[in-house]
Amino acid sequence: AQELFGFLSEDVLTYVGRSLRLPLSRVYGVATFYNLFTLTPKGRHTCTVCNGTACFVKGAGEILAGLEAEHGVKAGGTTADGQLSLVVARCVGACGAAPAVLYDHELAGEQTREAVLKRVKGWWSHT
């Protein structure tokens, strides 16, 4: 359903629940448990900052703060122009390359605040 509509609206969750004969609370519980599901429309691009222990220790917090400040969006949100969704992951499984960032699902390791801001800023020039 998310692949078809881009996100899971309340109407879609209700439909899924009825189709599976499950209460809406159970469907909602699954949709909110897994971070790949989203209840709001996502931006054209997604930047996922790993906030696992290794990434956090090596500067993921600075990267996240820089993105929030530069683009006026909080983690879990999307910019007003719909260009960028900012996501925080508990762990992306790339601890040896910390801090790790996913750019539209493409993994990049050993990122710096400056490198991330530069790469994400480039998304606006390619619209």
pLDDT in tens, 24-81: 999 999 999 887 788 988 899 999 999 999 999 999 999 999 999 999 999 989 999 9
User: In the structure encoding, which two tokens stand for residue 70, read together?
Assistant: 């530069």
Q: What is the pTM of this model?
A: 0.78
Average confidence score pLDDT of the chain:
93
Q: Tell me what the mean pLDDT of segment 92-118 comes to.
A: 96
pLDDT recorded at residue 109: 97
Task: Choose among 37, 65, 38, 55: nearest CA to 93.
Answer: 55
Residue 125 has pLDDT above 90, yes or no: no
Other beta carbons within 10 angstroms of residue 63's beta carbon come to 25
Residue 127 has pLDDT above 70, yes or no: no
Residue 126 has pLDDT above 70, yes or no: no
